Chain A
């Protein structure tokens, strides 16, 4: 399983969890779930892009 897939799976599970925990009704849950999923994925990719210039500790 690739790192990206693991991150996506984690984001999906957390998004579904909070959608069902905090909202009632299909439409509201879908909206919150998609916002959370997209926010986590985009945020992680943005963070990865920002960290890209920094060398990996102990890397060649």
Chain B
């Protein structure tokens, strides 16, 4: 991968890099020197906030609305978040997807389990505690829309993980950066 660049500094103190195409025309502006930690952390903390920090206002607001709506519908449909269950190894992946939602996961988790629980004891070492947790879960399981709600909550978590990765790509300059959602440049005829 080759990059031909001319660098400068914009008003926010970020070094902006213009990528030059083969024909010598600048087609995109990429932020390359911004540390991705704060935007990524913000994106994880509140869906869409990372994009807003990068001044991608319209996509940030729309993505925030979409993820929060997905999360809200998931809760309204009596969905539950996953907890790591040694008896079900795939639950580890599902729990990671739910945790991708950031602090909102704490709210959903307290509704699902009556507390912040990330792991369900296995049936051999913690049978009593396991049964207590499962009883709390069964109250929500009885709702006919429970599995739909669970899917919505999983989807919201995965969406937010993608948003974090997207913000990371913008910060390191892997993705063309167009502040304020400027319309895409028309593709030039080859």
Interfacial residues, chain A to chain B (CB-CB below 8 A)? 1, 3, 6, 9-10, 13-14, 16-17, 20-21, 23-26, 28
Q: Are B183 and A13 in contact (CB under 8 A)?
A: no
Within 8 A of A (CB), among B60-104: 62-63, 66-67, 69-70, 73, 77
How many inter-chain residue pairs (CB < 8 Å) link A and B? 44
Q: Are A17 and B184 in contact (CB under 8 A)?
A: no
State the majority secondary structure of interface residues on A: helix
Find A24's partner among B63, B73, B152, B183 (CB 8 Å cutoff): B183
> What's the minimum C-beta distance from A51 to chain B, rounded to whole angstroms?
16
State the majority secondary structure of interface residues on B: helix
In the complex with contacts A6-B77, A25-B184, A16-B145 CB distance below 8 A:
no
> What's the minimum C-beta distance from B153 to chain A, rounded to whole angstroms?
12
> What's the minimum C-beta distance from A23 to chain B, rounded to whole angstroms?
8
> What's the minimum C-beta distance from A54 to chain B, rounded to whole angstroms?
19
